[in-house]
Amino acid sequence: MKLLRFDGGRIGVLHEGSIYDVTEAAGGDPKRWPPVDMVRLIANFEDRAAAIRAAVECGRPIDPDKAALETPVPWPNKLIAIPVNYLAHAEEMRSPAISRHAGFFMLANSSLSGPSEPIVLPDLPGRSIHHEAELAIIIGRTGRHVSREDALSHIFGYACSLDITVRGKQERAIRKSYDSFTPVGPWITTADEVGDPHALDLKLWVNGEMRQEANTRNMILDIPEIIAMCSAVMTLEPGDVILSGTPEGVGPIGDGDTVRIEIPGVGAMEVGVVQGEGGSNVAIPKTVMEGA
Ligand code: MN
């Protein structure tokens, strides 16, 4: 199943090229704050799945081009990211901080955004702001100290994600947590439809030019190891989002660019880039050049 959010927190299913509104069958209430309907749905998915399928069968198809798609899980308990999880990316960044040694880090949940929202660049002239294409893992059930053997059973599904990054020496949490810096979408494809998550092509284009092309088989830490590692430290909850790291080919984005990510079998999304205002601060001053 391909589960999505659209038009102000409604829950939908993409089926045969159309969106079906399953908000009611999913127990959703778009007016509810905080927006945790998708987290609740993931936690109770087995109980809700039959009603959702029925709602698709008798629902009215909506043209996806006429819907504003939002990030599927806007309010997860955790947004986790894996640094440098492909060797060729470690080489291009000359980075010793590969995932096997560095582990993982946290991003602000508020950096999440959806396919219909632009990436808004902070006003930091002279700093490189890069795209990173990543496979996002969506956790399906609560787990602590999850073994490698059990890890895949804790996964609800997968999505495309971008880990937009101001390059520099400051903490990753600052450089990667600007609002809109973590587009995830366009929907969650449930794990049963994805098959082997270590055999997925991952591609990214900027303005139609391919910049990143890799396969998830080349991850340094595979997905069971990522889940074992994270859950050794903290309880993973339904709806938690883990960005599994980017391959080689990262590069700058700027005002007016269009970034497209595609993971066949999972999804594809295209987001615009716009120049915003503000964003400099005591750690990332506007006037300091990259590398300073
Ligand atoms: Mn990344």
130: left (phi over 0), alpha (psi -120 to 50) or beta: beta
Which stretch of DSSP H or E encloses residue 205? strand 201-206
Average pLDDT on 273-281 reads 96
- Taking residues 22-39, report their average pLDDT: 97
Any idea of the CA torsion for 94, 97, 100, 105, to the nearest 10 degrees? -130
CB under 8 Å to 54, separation ≥6 — which residues? Answer: 25
Q: What is the mean pLDDT of the chain?
A: 95
* Averaged pLDDT for residues 214-238: 97
Percent of the chain with pLDDT over 70: 98
Q: Using pLDDT thresholds of 50, 70 and 90, give the confidence band for residue 289.
A: low
The answer to which of 38-52, 115-129, 220-234, 275-289 has the lowest mean pLDDT is 275-289
What average pLDDT does this structure show over 38-51?
98
pLDDT band at 292; cut points 50, 70, 90: very low
Identify the pLDDT of residue 87: 86
Whether pLDDT at 288 is above 80: no
- Ligand 1 centre distance from Cα of residue 139 (Å): 18
Reported pTM: 0.96
DSSP string spanning 51-73?
Answer: HHHHHHHTSPPB-GGGS-EE-S-
- The answer to whether residue 257 scores a pLDDT higher than 70 is yes
What pLDDT is recorded for position 254?
97
User: What pLDDT was estimated at residue 96?
Assistant: 73
130 C-alpha to ligand 1 centroid (Å)? 10
Distance 134 CA to ligand 1 centre (A): 7
Kindly give the distance from the C-alpha atom of residue 246 to the centroid of ligand 1, in angstroms, as a whole number. 5
CA of 197 to the centre of ligand 1 (A): 18
Q: Cβ atoms within 10 A of the Cβ of 254, count? A: 13
Buried b / exposed e across 119-155, counting CB within 10 Å, b at 16+? bbbbebeebbbbbbbbbbbbbbbebeebeeeebeebb
| Rounded CA separation 259/134 (Å) | 13
The CA 63 to ligand 1 mean position distance, Å, reads: 32
Q: Give yes or no for a contact between 141 and 131, defined as CB atoms under 8 angstroms apart.
A: no
pLDDT, tens only, 115-128: 999 999 999 998 99
* Centre of ligand 1 from the C-alpha of residue 255, in Å: 21
DSSP 8-state secondary structure symbol assigned to residue 96: S
Measure the CA–CA gap between 173 and 163, rounded to whole angstroms: 11
**Residues in CB range of 64: below 8 A, 6 or more apart:** 14, 17, 18, 19
**Could you report the per-residue pLDDT of 159-217, keeping only the tens digit for each?**
999 999 999 999 999 999 999 999 999 999 999 999 999 999 999 999 999 999 999 99
Residue 255 CA to residue 275 CA, distance in Å, equals 5
**Measured in angstroms, how far is the CA atom of residue 110 from the centroid of ligand 1?**
16
pLDDT digits (tens, 9 = 90+) for 64-106: 999 999 999 999 999 999 999 998 888 888 877 688 889 999 9
Give the mean model confidence (pLDDT) for residues 144-149: 98
